[in-house]
């Protein structure tokens, strides 16, 4: 057993040589060798020697990175895997495959399953299934309140001490709207040293809403979801954290003022972190013009000025991470009148391409930035000690290879996810994950999956 708890006898570990990759997209292509799940050499004579020996050895797998960018394995701290309860839309197995294809080596699975993940038995079953499939580390998030009902706190301590070692709690999908319950949750979370992730939505302001409250919703005659419904909870919960302790994480921020408030909170020294989704960085509410449920999401797509502020907030570190809020839904729940459509969209298999498009291809940022917001900071926030690590000798081989010049078109039907509700259908992207490596095991190889469909 090494320092990262990786047992070399674990059957999913193979020795690996990755040739022709550029760590963080920098420098000349080099060779990386991996033994027992740990990086043993990067470039230099040692790596070349192993690489040439590997060509003739059965025990060593060789991956040709084809000049691609080598990143630390991506970490998504906000996904919905739908098992238990809605396995016709996603399972831990299909969600794990979608994650691996998206470049992820760890995901945090939200608690709004059926039954809700509000006790150690459900959490352990999710954790153990993730382990059994072994495509990505699946860490269950426990709910803050029993049954997501917003009234009785769950047993943070029991869930933390379970096999699943739950250290993040969220009622996501619903807001913990009652201020007194949220205060008690923060106090309890502070004592247990666990993270609380809030879905910021004052439900009294969003009853019956299905689109951003603005000009588009006005013209279409749709009931609006005002920015203030999110921002008021962002402000409230930061003030509660300031006064009662705990670590607060704010899910899927969607407005300019939410980002401004977080900036203020951080300046005050409040223990707060925040995420933004790829769809809130890229898409806007005018997509709803044909009343298509595929574009319905919670919080809703907003206006161009919001996407611009969110990009800026991610660039300057106000918003810490990109998280997908991967939300698979069946066609019968999306292709209905927009009022009745379930909110949410697929995200795992398109997120890297979107972040690369907005930040790297535009020249706004480099691959180090992508590593920071999609791997290092997410792993730090949820304290995954073997994820989001530097690409260096002695570190765990959780890695992602990206082809930065690969033009492809997103198609829901071709995704590994069981559902197909992507808002990017037919959209062209120019970067693509080609390989994902979890503790030295190749969990995704684009050349193998290309051409396969559901």
Rounded least distance, CB 110 to ligand DOR, Å: 7
Exposure of 84 by Cβ count < 10 A (0-12 exposed, 13-18 middle, 19+ buried)? middle
Reported as half-sphere exposure (CB side, CA atoms, 13 A), residue 266 has a value of: 17
DSSP label of 415: S
Rounded least distance, CB 320 to ligand DOR, Å: 18
State the Cα–Cα distance between residues 58 and 40, nearest whole angstrom.
19
Tokens of 106: 């760890």
Known catalytic residues are 325
Q: Give 210 or 381: the residue with its C-beta nearer to ligand DOR.
A: 210
Total residue length of the chain: 454
**Binding site for substrate: what residues are annotated?**
80-82, 112, 298, 329, 343-344
Q: Give 349 or 403: the residue with its C-beta nearer to ligand DOR.
A: 349
State the Cα–Cα distance between residues 409 and 411, nearest whole angstrom.
6
Window 189-208: contact mask with ligand DOR (x via CB under 6 A): ----------x---------
Q: Give 130 or 343: the residue with its C-beta nearer to ligand DOR.
A: 343
Window 285-324: contact mask with ligand DOR (x via CB under 6 A): ------------xx--------------------------
217: enclosing H helix or E strand: helix 215-220
Query: In 3D, which of 449, 353, 443, 451 has the Cα closest to residue 136?
Result: 443
State the Cα–Cα distance between residues 324 and 307, nearest whole angstrom.
15
- Under rule CB under 6 A, residue 327 binds ligand DOR: yes
- Under rule CB under 6 A, residue 326 binds ligand DOR: no
**Binding site: what residues are annotated?**
78, 80-82, 112, 172, 199, 252, 298, 325, 329, 343-344
Write out the binding residues for ligand DOR, residues 14-73 only, by CB under 6 A. Answer: none
Rounded least distance, CB 250 to ligand DOR, Å: 12
Query: In 3D, which of 289, 281, 451 has the Cα closest to residue 355?
Result: 281
Rounded least distance, CB 2 to ligand DOR, Å: 37
Write out the binding residues for ligand DOR, residues 329-388 only, by CB under 6 A. Answer: 342-344
Distances (CA, A) of 318 to 54, 277, 300, 314, 362: 45, 14, 21, 6, 20
- Under rule CB under 6 A, residue 109 binds ligand DOR: no
Rounded least distance, CB 348 to ligand DOR, Å: 13
Task: Catalog residues that contact ligand DOR under the rule CB under 6 A.
Answer: 80, 112, 172-173, 199, 297-298, 325, 327, 342-344
């Amino acid at each position: 057993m090494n320092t990262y708890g990786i047992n070399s006898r674990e059957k999913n570990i193979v020795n690996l040589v990755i040739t022709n990759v550029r760590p963080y997209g920098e420098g000349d292509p080099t060779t990386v060798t991996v033994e027992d799940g740990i990086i043993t050499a990067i470039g230099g004579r040692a790596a070349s020697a192993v690489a040439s020996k590997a060509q003739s050895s059965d025990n060593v797998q060789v991956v040709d990175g084809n000049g691609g960018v080598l990143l630390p394995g991506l970490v998504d701290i906000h996904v919905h895997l739908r098992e238990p309860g809605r396995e016709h839309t996603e399972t831990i197995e299909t969600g794990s495959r979608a994650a691996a294809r998206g470049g992820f080596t760890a995901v945090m699975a939200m608690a709004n399953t059926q039954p809700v993940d509000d006790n150690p038995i459900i959490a352990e079953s999710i954790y153990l299934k993730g382990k059994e499939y072994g495509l990505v580390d699946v860490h269950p998030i426990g709910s803050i309140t029993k049954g997501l009902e917003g009234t009785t706190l769950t047993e943070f301590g029991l869930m933390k001490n379970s096999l699943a070692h739950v250290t993040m709690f969220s009622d996501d999908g619903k807001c913990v709207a009652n201020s007194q319950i949220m205060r008690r949750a923060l106090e309890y979370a502070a004592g247990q040293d666990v993270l609380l992730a809030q879905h910021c939505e004052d439900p009294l302001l969003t009853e019956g809403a299905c689109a951003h409250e603005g000009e588009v919703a006005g013209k279409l005659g749709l009931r609006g979801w005002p920015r203030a419904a999110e921002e008021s909870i962002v402000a409230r919960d930061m003030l509660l954290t300031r006064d009662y302790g705990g670590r607060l994480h704010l899910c899927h921020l969607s407005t300019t003022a939410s980002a401004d408030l977080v900036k203020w909170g951080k300046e005050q020294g409040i223990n707060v972190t925040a995420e933004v989704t790829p769809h809130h960085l890229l898409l806007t509410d005018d997509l709803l013009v044909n009343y298509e449920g595929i574009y319905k999401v919670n919080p809703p797509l907003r206006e161009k000025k919001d996407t611009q502020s969110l990009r800026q907030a991610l660039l300057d570190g106000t918003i810490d991470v990109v998280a997908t809020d991967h939300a698979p839904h069946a066609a019968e729940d999306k292709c209905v009148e927009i009022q009745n459509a379930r909110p949410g969209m697929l995200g795992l298999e398109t997120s890297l391409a979107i972040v690369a498009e907005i930040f790297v291809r535009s020249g706004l940022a480099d691959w180090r930035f992508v590593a920071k917001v999609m791997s290092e900071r997410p792993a730090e926030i949820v304290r995954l000690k073997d994820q989001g690590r530097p690409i260096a000798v002695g570190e765990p081989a959780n890695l992602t290879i990206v082809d930065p010049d690969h033009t492809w078109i997103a198609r829901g039907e071709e995704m590994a996810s069981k559902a197909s509700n992507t808002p990017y259908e037919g959209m062209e992207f120019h970067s693509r994950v080609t390989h994902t490596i979890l503790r030295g095991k190749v969990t995704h190889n684009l050349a193998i999956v290309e051409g396969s469909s559901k």
